[in-house]
Structure 1
Amino acid sequence: MTTLLSVVIPVRNEAQALPALLDDLAALRAAGAEIIVVDAGSSDSTCELARGRVDRLLSTAPGRALQMNAGALAAQGDYLWFVHADTRVSAASVKRLQEVLHERPLWGRFDVRLSGSGLALWVIGWMISLRSRLTGVASGDQGIFVERARFEALGGYAQIPLMEDLQLCRRLKEQARPRCLRPPLSTSSRRWEQHGIWRTVLLMWCLRLAYYCGVSPEKLARQYRRGSIL
């Protein structure tokens, strides 16, 4: 039997978040989807929690692009769905994805909302979704899905430490606009809450602008880890 969908989840020390996502995906797995977790050297119980609840548990060196490419290489599905470990997926979102995949789109992504409470976080999620609809470019926490054959033809994710999702979307957009799906996925707001909501928004926009102006992903990754644009 052909597997329509492979879900690829890159992880590193996600013991707190991963079980909830696997709960969300349990019905999808029972319906025949393949769940692949790719660990990058977790020192917590991430792998133990994943074992027995996924179809493949892989290990790679750190690097989200490297992890996702490894998962894609092992996948059997006609479509790849890249989902971050701190994402929550509703049953309605899964149903919508299943409906759309039978229409055989080239690629797509979901709208997103941030998990925290408060108007500011709601507005940020709305702005991310709107920006993505206008530009045809998605971030990794929007659950990018893509036809596996086309992903392979493009060489997968570029092996860069940051902006690998934007780079892939720009290449895919040259061939087709993405399918933009609702209901939204919920992604963790922990970075915004830890580092300050508007400071994080400014950092993200500055990093994107710098990337489009030609600043190397390596330098941007260092700035992202520091939480500073300077």
Structure 2
Amino acid sequence: MISIIVPTLNEEKVIEETLRRLQPLRKLGHEIIVSDGKSSDKTVELAKPFADRIVVDPEPEKKNIARGKNLGAAEARGDLLVFIDADVEIPDTEKFFRKLAEMFQSNQRLAALTVPIRVRPEAETFGDKIIFGLLNGLYVFSNNVLRVGNASGEFQAVRAAAFKNVRGYREDLVTGEDNDLFYRLSRIGRTLVETSLCVLHSGRRARATGWMKLLFQWIVSGVCVFIFGKSPFKKWRVVR
């Protein structure tokens, strides 16, 4: 079984459509878990018909995306955990997940896998193409060539046993928890980027923040987490 975990906080604009696209997977015996940070909008209400379980953080004052993902994983029954952001779209969903399952079944050393990330074609700018092209190339080189785990958090597939082995996401990291998880997983198994697959997302953070500022934040966060083991930020702006 695959457990698809979607962390949410005030995602009423996108959650229904995201979960609707995943419904064929439930018919195949997989499960969908929504892990909510106590949204103040209609996120939970909209998600209920489309999720097997909804977990609401009992201590929302501690909320960050790492905690949300860990709470969802704690409720998961699958041997493969797939974490996706609430604005992510997976093209050809059933074919995508068949390929994903085959890769983990055929390679028992594989601890985690990610795929290239793109902005949806109708919203994609030239800057998006260039920057995500470079980022995707960086992740391929890091994981597939150097064997050093590194991945963005929009989509991460992790073997449940490996996730438990490294104790999940670090909840003390406001940013960089996604890259940190893959780095630790690469020390106990293989991490890969499967370039024949991809996922789409809204690109909303780059729109709200601006690419130059966002890239600077990502670089500073990545360096601080990798070298010093902690995030340079106390809070990470919520963008919806």
TM-score (norm 1): 0.88
Which deviates more from structure 2 when the two are superposed, residues 197-206 or residues 51-60?
Answer: 197-206
- 2: CA distance, partners of 1:225 / 1:47: 21
The answer to whether the 8 A contact 1:88-1:185 is kept is yes
How far apart in 2 are the matches of 1:198 and 1:139?
Answer: 18
Partner residue in 2 for 1:131: 138
Which of 104, 108, 115 aligns to 1:110? It is 115
Give yes or no for contact 1:72–1:80 (8 Å, CA) kept in 2.
yes
SS in 2 for 1:37: strand
- Say which of 99, 103, 106 aligns to 1:96: 99
Note if 1:145 corresponds to 2:157.
Answer: yes
Query: Percent of aligned positions with the same letter in both sequences?
Result: 26
Distance 1:71 1:17 in 2: 19
Whether the aligned pair in 2 keeps the contact of 1:93 and 1:185 (CA below 8 Å) is no
CA displacement at 1:17 relative to structure 2: 1.3
| d(CA) in 2 for partners of 1:162, 1:192 | 15
- Matched letter for residue 138 of structure 2: R
Displacement of 1:70 in angstroms is: 1.2
> Is 1:165–2:178 an aligned residue pair?
yes
CA shift for structure 1 position 226:
9.9
Distance 2:170 2:209 in 1: 28
Distance 2:69 2:238 in 1: 24
Summarize the Cα distance change of 1:127–1:93 in structure 2 as closer, same or farther, 3 Å threshold. Answer: farther
Q: Secondary structure at the match of 1:90?
A: coil
Aligned to 2:127: 120
Letter in 1 for 2:111: L
Partner of 1:213: 227
**Paired residue secondary structure (1:87):** coil
Corresponding residue SS for 2:207: helix
Question: What aligned pairs does 1:1-230 form with structure 2 within 5 A after superposition?
Answer: 4-60=1-57, 61=60, 62-91=63-92, 92-103=95-106, 104=108, 105-115=110-120, 116-136=123-143, 137-141=150-154, 143-160=155-172, 161-181=174-194, 182-214=196-228, 216-217=230-231, 219-222=232-235, 224-225=236-237
* Structure 1: gaps of 5 or more residues: none
Q: Deviations over 1:152-193 (max 9, x none)?
A: 121111112222112211111112231312321112211111
CA contact (8 A) 1:9 1:68 kept: yes
Distance 1:154 1:204 in 2: 23
Give the unaligned 5+ runs of structure 2.
144-149
Contact 1:24/1:90 (<8 A) preserved: no
Counterparts of 1:123 and 1:101, CA distance in 2: 30
Once the two structures are superposed, what CA deviation does each residue of 1:176-212 show, in whole Å capped at 9, x if it has no partner? 2313123211122111112222332232222222333
Q: C-alpha displacement at 1:12, in angstroms?
A: 0.3
Q: Tell me by how many angstroms 1:95 deviates.
A: 3.7
Structure 1 residue 96 displacement after superposition: 2.5
CA RMSD of aligned residues (A): 2.0
- Give the number of aligned pairs: 221
Q: 1:52 to 1:178 in 2, by over 3 A?
A: same
